[in-house]
Structure formats: C-alpha cells, structure tokens
Amino acid sequence: MGSVIDGAIEEGSLTEKKPTVVFVLGGPGSGKGTQCANIVQHFGFTHLSAGDLLRAEIKSGSENGTMIQNMIKEGKIVPSEVTIKLLQKAMQESGNDKFLIDGFPRNEENRAAFEAVTKIEPKFVLFFDCSEEEMERRLLNRNQGREDDNIETIRKRFKVFLESSLPVIEHYNAKGKVRKIDAGKPVEEVFEDVKIIFTSNSEKATV
Ligand SMILES: Nc1ncnc2c1ncn2[C@@H]1O[C@H](COP(=O)(O)OP(=O)(O)OP(=O)(O)O)[C@@H](O)[C@H]1O
Ligand SMILES: Nc1ccn([C@@H]2O[C@H](COP(=O)(O)O)[C@@H](O)[C@H]2O)c(=O)n1
Ligand SMILES: [Mg+2]
C-alpha cells in the first residue's frame, strides 16, 4: 500500500490495490467526528480527522505549529502540503486499507493536491447536511476545550465552509459521488441512515 499512498508505483506493485477512501464532509459541528466513530466500529475503517491531525501537530512542537494554531484560531484552511503530509503519514502507519478522511478536502486546493499527490479518488463522499443554527448550538456546547469553539471563530468557519468547502461537495456531486445525510436528527437516527449507505453504497444521492 505504501507505494500508492506515496504517489509512486514501485516495480512489481502495479497490481497492488489502492486504498479505499471515503471523504466525510459537512459544516463545523455537523457531526462528522461523532458518526466516524460509529462507522469505525461497524465497518472497519480507520478514521483520520484532518483537524485532529493538525491539532496533534501543534502539540508535537513542530516548526509549523504556530502557523497551524493561528490558522485554526481564524478558521482558515492550512496549506494543503502540510495537511496532506500528515494524512499520508497516518495512512501509512495505520496498516489499514480503508480510510474515513474527515474534514478534508476543505477547499479546491486540498482536493486537487490530494488527487495529484496520491492519485486516489474517493469511493464516495459522505456529506452531513445540517442547519447553521443547529451546528452553532452543538459547537457552543461541545466543551472539548477547542480554541475555535467560540462564536467569533465559529462564524468565520461557517463562511469558509460556504465559500470554499461547498464547491468541493458540488464538484463530487457532479461526478455522482455525494451521499447526503440529514445530520440535523439525533445521533442514533443519523447513524441509521449512514449504515444504509455503508451497507449498500451503490445508491446515487444528489445534493
Ligand atoms: N446528531 C447529533 N445531535 C446532537 N448533537 C450531536 C449530534 N452529532 C454530534 N453532536 C454533538 O455535537 C458536537 C459536534 O459534533 P462533532 O464533533 O462530531 O462535529 P464535527 O462535524 O466533527 O465538528 P468539527 O468540524 O468542528 O470537527 C459534539 O459535542 C457532539 O457530541
Ligand atoms: N483540511 C483541513 C481541515 C481542517 N483545517 C483546520 O482545522 C480546523 C478544525 O478542523 P475540524 O475538521 O476539526 O473542524 C479548521 O477550521 C481549519 O482551520 C484545515 O486547515 N484543513
Ligand atoms: Mg470533527
């Protein structure tokens, strides 16, 4: 698997299967992380949250730490090069070949760079659709000590989602890859809908 994730095909590995990737997208607080935890338990995927990887990078004392911290505080999107390197490393270290990539790609730059570097196309894109009002309520009640769970940053994150992330969802929708979920319902009900998609993902859903 290593050779494919690196974006290079080593001699003798031409028949090697590319990893299965599902992108998990949706606005801040739509429940991506919550549902990914359920999917991992039922369907054997490895969950990679781009946001979690970036937060771990800050904690590790990396030279990019201050830049990442400032971007997260402002709700801005970290340059793709940084995030993709973290994702590639986590994929290689996981030993799995099925990944839920949560919160990525967040903009067109993320999307194009990931495709160019890894040559991986997502199997499908899970899109958690939720109202801003509900997402705001959830984020303000999350209580996980996240620096970006304050009303000023939340508003910035909503704007970035509308302006930069929704076009990525539209890109995949045009390719018939988006599986849209009503994420405004209680956690268990959302997961019932998620299960249907993972059990039979041949259904085509549109935004
Ligand atoms: N369906 C739901 N109904 C009510 N609360 C929910 C639901 N799903 C998640 N939550 C709660 O909302 C908060 C945000 O959920 P979660 O962290 O999964 O969202 P997220 O999409 O990963 O957000 P972010 O993009 O900020 O990482 C958490 O406190 C979680 O427990
Ligand atoms: N592809 C990404 C994903 C996230 N970020 C930054 O992290 C913040 C938190 O992300 P969550 O998915 O945990 O909500 C996000 O607001 C961005 O600042 C990023 O830059 N690129
Ligand atoms: Mg999350």
Q: What tens digit of pLDDT does each residue of 40-81 get?
A: 999 999 999 999 999 999 999 999 999 999 999 999 999 999
pLDDT at 13 over 90: no
Q: Determine if ligand 2 sits within 6 Å of the CB of residue 103.
A: yes
CA of 194 to the centre of ligand 2 (A): 23
Containing domain of residue 147, as a range?
A: 2-7+22-199
CA of 121 to the centre of ligand 2 (A): 21
The atom number, within ligand 1, closest to the CA of 189 reads: 1
104 near 114, Cβ under 8 Å? yes
| C-alpha pair distances (Å), 196 with each of 37, 110, 181, 202 | 16, 28, 11, 10
Place of tokens 């045009």: 174
**Nearest-angstrom CA–CA distance, 41 and 129:** 22
pLDDT at 1 over 60: no
As for the ipTM of the complex, it is 0.99
Which ranges in the chain belong to alpha helices (H)?
A: 2-5, 32-43, 50-59, 65-73, 80-94, 108-118, 132-140, 151-160, 166-174, 187-199
Which segments of the chain are extended strands (E)? 20-26, 46-49, 98-102, 124-129, 178-182
pLDDT digits (tens, 9 = 90+) for 90-106: 999 999 999 999 999 99
User: What is the domain-level CATH number for residue 55?
Assistant: 3.40.50.300
pLDDT digits (tens, 9 = 90+) for 43-53: 999 999 999 99
| Bridge partners for 122 per DSSP | none
Q: Whose CA is nearest to atom 11 of ligand 1?
A: 138
121 near 4, Cβ under 8 Å? no
Is residue 13 assigned to a domain? no
Is residue 39 assigned to a domain? yes
Number of domains composing the chain: 1
**Nearest-angstrom CA–CA distance, 80 and 75:** 15
Q: Whose CA is nearest to atom 5 of ligand 1?
A: 138
Is residue 204 assigned to a domain? no
Structure tokens at 26: 């949706």
Indicate the average pLDDT of the chain: 92
pLDDT at 86 over 70: yes
Is residue 12 assigned to a domain? no
Is residue 162 assigned to a domain? yes
**Nearest-angstrom CA–CA distance, 71 and 28:** 15
| Bridge partners for 21 per DSSP | 99
Q: Determine if ligand 2 sits within 6 Å of the CB of residue 26.
A: no
Is residue 174 assigned to a domain? yes
Q: What is the DSSP letter of 101?
A: E
Query: What pLDDT is stored for residue 65 in this prediction?
Result: 98
pLDDT at 16 over 80: no
Query: What is the pLDDT averaged over residues 162-185?
Result: 98
pLDDT at 11 over 60: no
Query: What pLDDT is stored for residue 5 in this prediction?
Result: 54
CA of 75 to the centre of ligand 1 (A): 17
Give the confidence band of 17 by pLDDT, cuts at 50, 70, 90: confident
Is residue 172 assigned to a domain? yes
Is residue 124 assigned to a domain? yes
pLDDT at 4 over 90: no
Report the percentage of the chain scoring pLDDT > 90. 88
Query: What is the pLDDT averaged over residues 132-142?
Result: 98
